[in-house]
Structure 1
Amino acid sequence: MTETEAPFSSSKLREQLMRNVFETETHFALGGPVAELIEERTRTVDRVVIAAFEHTFTGIHDVALVATGGFGRRELLPQSDIDVLLIVPEPMRPEVNRALEALLSQFWNLGLQASHIVRSHRACLEEAERDLTSATALFEARYLTGDRDAFERLIVALEHPDLWPAPRFMQAKLDEQRERHARFNDTAFNLEPNIKEGPGGLRDLHALQWVIKRAFGTEAIESWADLRLCTQEELQALLKARDVLWQVRFGLHRLLKRREERLLFDHQRELAAQFGFQDANPKLAVERFMQGFYRASAAVQRLSRRVWERVQARVLPSQADQRELEHGFFVREGRLDHVEPQSLAANLDRLIQCLRLLAQANEKLRPAAALAGPMSSLCQQLSAEQIASLRTSLPNLLREPGEVMNVVEALADIGLLGRLVPAFDQVSGRMQYDMFHAYTVDQHTLFVMHNLARFNRESTQKTYPLAYEVRKRIRKPELLLLAGLFHDIAKGKGGDHSELGEVEARQFGAQAGLSQTDTDLISWLVREHLTMSVTAQKQDIGDPQVVHRFASVVRDWERLDYLYLLTVADISGTNPKLWNGWKERLLGDLYQTTRYALRRGLEHPVHESERIRDVQRMALELLAQSGIQANAAEALWAEYPAESFLRFSPTQIAWQTAAVLKHAGRAEPLTAVRSPTEHGTTEVFVYSADRDGVFATITAVLDRLQLSVLEARIVSSKLGHVLDTFQVLDAEHKPLIDPERIEDLGARLSDELGKPELSLTPARRAWTRQQKHFQLALKLDFSDDEAAGRTEMGLVCSDRPGLLAQIAQVFRAVGLAVHDARIATFGERVEDIFLLSTLDGKPLSLEQRDALSRTLAHELNPFARNRR
Structure 2
Amino acid sequence: MTRPYVRMRKVKNHLDIVDGKALRAEIAALKEEFSPADVREPLLKRLKVAYQAGFEEIKRRCEAGEGGITLVRAQTYLTDEIIRALYDVTSEYIYHQPNPTSAEKLCLVAVGGYGRGEMAPYSDIDLLFLLPYKQTPWGEQVVEYMLYMMWDMGLKVGHATRTVGECIRLAQGDLSIKTSLLEARYLWGDKSLFDEFVARYDKEIIEGQEPEFVEEKLAERDTRHLKMGDSRYVVEPNLKDGKGGLRDLQTLYWISKFIYKVQSASELVGKGVFSREEYRQFRKAEKFLYTVRCHLHYIMGRPEERITFDVQKTLARRLGYMDRPGSSGVERFMKHYFLNAKNVGDLTRIFCSYLEAQHKRKTRLKIPSFGLRRKSVDGFPIDGSRLSVKGVRTFTENSVEMIRIFYVAQKYHLDVHPRALRLIRQNLKLIDRDVRNDPEANELFMEILTFREGPGFILRLMNEAGVFGRFVPDFGRVVAQMQYDMYHVYTVDEHTIRAIELLSEVERGELAEDHPLANEIVHKVLSRRVLYVAVLLHDIAKGRKGDHSVLGAEVAKKLCPRFGMSPAETETVAWLVRWHLLMSGIAFKRDLNDPKTIIDFANAVQSPERLRLLLVLTVVDIRAVGPKIWNGWKGQLLRDLYYRAEEYLLGGQIEKSNLFRVEKRINALRQVLSDWSDEKFEAFKERFYDSFWMALDETNHERIARIMEKADARDDRLTIDIRSDEFQEITELIIYAQDHPGLFARITGAIALSGATIQDAKILTTKDGMAVDTFWIQEADGSAFKDPHKQEKLKKTIKETLMGKILPRKVLQKRQEEKKSKRTAVFTVEPVVLIDNKASNTYTVIEVNGLDRVGYLYDLSRTLVDLKLSIGSAHIATYGERAVTVFFVRDLFGHKVTHEQKLAQIEKALMAVLTGQEDPDNAAKKQQPSVREAS
Superposition TM-score, scaled by structure 2 size:
0.84
1:443: Cα distance to partner? 1.2
**Which of 227, 237, 256 lines up with 1:193 in the alignment?**
237
Cα distance in structure 1, aligned partners of 2:134 and 2:879: 64
Secondary structure (helix, strand or coil) at the match of 1:675 reads: strand
Matches within 5 A, 1:373-452: 373-389=422-438, 390-391=441-442, 393-452=444-503
Matches within 5 A, 1:267-278: 267-278=311-322
Matches within 5 A, 1:285-296: 285-296=329-340
Q: Does 1:646 align with 2:646?
A: no
Distance change (3 Å), C-alpha of 1:443 and 1:606 = farther
Distance change (3 Å), C-alpha of 1:743 and 1:82 = closer
Matches within 5 A, 1:294-333: 294-315=338-359, 317-318=361-362, 322=368, 323-324=370-371, 326-327=377-378
Distance change (3 Å), C-alpha of 1:299 and 1:620 = farther
**Which of 696, 705, 708 lines up with 1:660 in the alignment?**
708
Letter in 1 for 2:311: H
Q: Does 1:797 align with 2:850?
A: yes
**Which of 117, 122, 138 lines up with 2:165 in the alignment?**
122
> Per-residue displacement from partner, 1:436-493 (whole Å, max 9, x unpaired)?
1111111111111111122112221111111111111123322212111211111121
1:329: Cα distance to partner? 5.0
Secondary structure (helix, strand or coil) at the match of 1:575 reads: coil
Distance change (3 Å), C-alpha of 1:157 and 1:482 = same
**Which of 636, 642, 667 lines up with 1:585 in the alignment?**
636
Distance change (3 Å), C-alpha of 1:786 and 1:16 = closer
**Which of 807, 810, 815 lines up with 2:863 in the alignment?**
810
Distance change (3 Å), C-alpha of 1:476 and 1:853 = closer
Cα distance in structure 1, aligned partners of 2:839 and 2:422: 67
Cα distance in structure 1, aligned partners of 2:117 and 2:804: 73
Tell me if structure 1 keeps the 8 A contact 2:407–2:447: no
1:136: Cα distance to partner? 1.1
Distance change (3 Å), C-alpha of 1:394 and 1:673 = same
Q: Does 1:372 align with 2:430?
A: no
Letter in 2 for 1:133: S
Distance change (3 Å), C-alpha of 1:483 and 1:77 = same
Letter in 1 for 2:916: P
Tell me if structure 2 keeps the 8 A contact 1:358–1:404: no
Letter in 2 for 1:338: S
Distance change (3 Å), C-alpha of 1:476 and 1:789 = closer
Cα distance in structure 1, aligned partners of 2:20 and 2:710: 92
Secondary structure (helix, strand or coil) at the match of 1:424 reads: helix
Distance change (3 Å), C-alpha of 1:330 and 1:727 = farther
> Per-residue displacement from partner, 1:222-255 (whole Å, max 9, x unpaired)?
2333333344433322322222111211222233
Letter in 1 for 2:593: G
Cα distance in structure 2, aligned partners of 1:110 and 1:742: 52
Letter in 2 for 1:771: T
Cα distance in structure 1, aligned partners of 2:839 and 2:51: 75
Distance change (3 Å), C-alpha of 1:704 and 1:12 = closer
Cα distance in structure 2, aligned partners of 1:707 and 1:834: 19
Distance change (3 Å), C-alpha of 1:33 and 1:254 = same
Cα distance in structure 1, aligned partners of 2:663 and 2:346: 59
Secondary structure (helix, strand or coil) at the match of 2:266 reads: helix
Tell me if structure 2 keeps the 8 A contact 1:818–1:837: yes
**Which of 20, 27, 36 lines up with 2:70 in the alignment?**
36
Cα distance in structure 1, aligned partners of 2:728 and 2:605: 25
Distance change (3 Å), C-alpha of 1:272 and 1:758 = closer
**Which of 266, 291, 303 lines up with 1:247 in the alignment?**
291
State the partner residue of 2:776. 727
Q: Does 1:74 align with 2:117?
A: yes
**Which of 474, 488, 513 lines up with 1:462 in the alignment?**
513
Distance change (3 Å), C-alpha of 1:401 and 1:808 = closer
Distance change (3 Å), C-alpha of 1:344 and 1:81 = farther
**Which of 668, 685, 689 lines up with 1:637 in the alignment?**
685
1:416: Cα distance to partner? 0.9
Cα distance in structure 1, aligned partners of 2:74 and 2:324: 35
Tell me if structure 2 keeps the 8 A contact 1:471–1:565: yes
Distance change (3 Å), C-alpha of 1:724 and 1:330 = farther
Letter in 2 for 1:273: R
> Per-residue displacement from partner, 1:778-834 (whole Å, max 9, x unpaired)?
432334589977543221111012222233333344443322111111111111111
Cα distance in structure 2, aligned partners of 1:271 and 1:760: 39
**Which of 520, 524, 545 lines up with 1:494 in the alignment?**
545
Cα distance in structure 2, aligned partners of 1:863 and 1:573: 37
Q: Does 1:146 align with 2:189?
A: yes
Instruction: Name stretches of at least 5 consecutive residues in structure 1 with no aligned partner.
Output: none
Distance change (3 Å), C-alpha of 1:789 and 1:110 = closer
Tell me if structure 2 keeps the 8 A contact 1:786–1:843: no
> Per-residue displacement from partner, 1:532-556 (whole Å, max 9, x unpaired)?
1111111112212111111111111
Distance change (3 Å), C-alpha of 1:472 and 1:358 = farther
Percent of aligned positions with the same letter in both sequences?
A: 28
Cα distance in structure 2, aligned partners of 1:412 and 1:693: 55
Letter in 1 for 2:613: Y
Letter in 1 for 2:862: Q
Tell me if structure 2 keeps the 8 A contact 1:399–1:476: no
Tell me if structure 1 keeps the 8 A contact 2:431–2:470: no
Tell me if structure 2 keeps the 8 A contact 1:782–1:793: yes
Moved more, 352-361 or 282-291: 352-361
> Per-residue displacement from partner, 1:709-760 (whole Å, max 9, x unpaired)?
000111223333222110001233211334454455446545655x499966
Distance change (3 Å), C-alpha of 1:257 and 1:402 = closer
Q: Does 1:260 align with 2:310?
A: no
**Which of 355, 373, 380 lines up with 2:406 in the alignment?**
355
Letter in 1 for 2:567: Q
Matches within 5 A, 1:508-527: 508-527=559-578
Secondary structure (helix, strand or coil) at the match of 1:561 reads: helix
Distance change (3 Å), C-alpha of 1:746 and 1:341 = farther
Secondary structure (helix, strand or coil) at the match of 2:436 reads: helix
1:848: Cα distance to partner? 5.2
Moved more, 300-309 or 560-569: 300-309
Cα distance in structure 1, aligned partners of 2:152 and 2:701: 76
1:582: Cα distance to partner? 0.7
**Which of 322, 325, 338 lines up with 2:388 in the alignment?**
338
Letter in 1 for 2:487: F
Moved more, 304-313 or 525-534: 304-313
Cα distance in structure 2, aligned partners of 1:381 and 1:142: 47
Cα distance in structure 1, aligned partners of 2:381 and 2:229: 31
Cα distance in structure 1, aligned partners of 2:576 and 2:819: 38
Distance change (3 Å), C-alpha of 1:587 and 1:76 = same
Distance change (3 Å), C-alpha of 1:211 and 1:610 = farther
State the partner residue of 1:477. 528
Moved more, 82-91 or 284-293: 82-91
Distance change (3 Å), C-alpha of 1:609 and 1:207 = farther
Tell me if structure 1 keeps the 8 A contact 2:730–2:777: yes
Cα distance in structure 2, aligned partners of 1:148 and 1:326: 58
Distance change (3 Å), C-alpha of 1:757 and 1:811 = farther
**Which of 183, 204, 210 lines up with 2:227 in the alignment?**
183
1:608: Cα distance to partner? 4.3
Moved more, 437-446 or 375-384: 375-384
Secondary structure (helix, strand or coil) at the match of 1:670 reads: strand
State the partner residue of 1:157. 200
Tell me if structure 2 keeps the 8 A contact 1:623–1:658: no
State the partner residue of 2:126. 83
Tell me if structure 2 keeps the 8 A contact 1:360–1:403: no
State the partner residue of 1:862. 916
Cα distance in structure 2, aligned partners of 1:620 and 1:168: 74
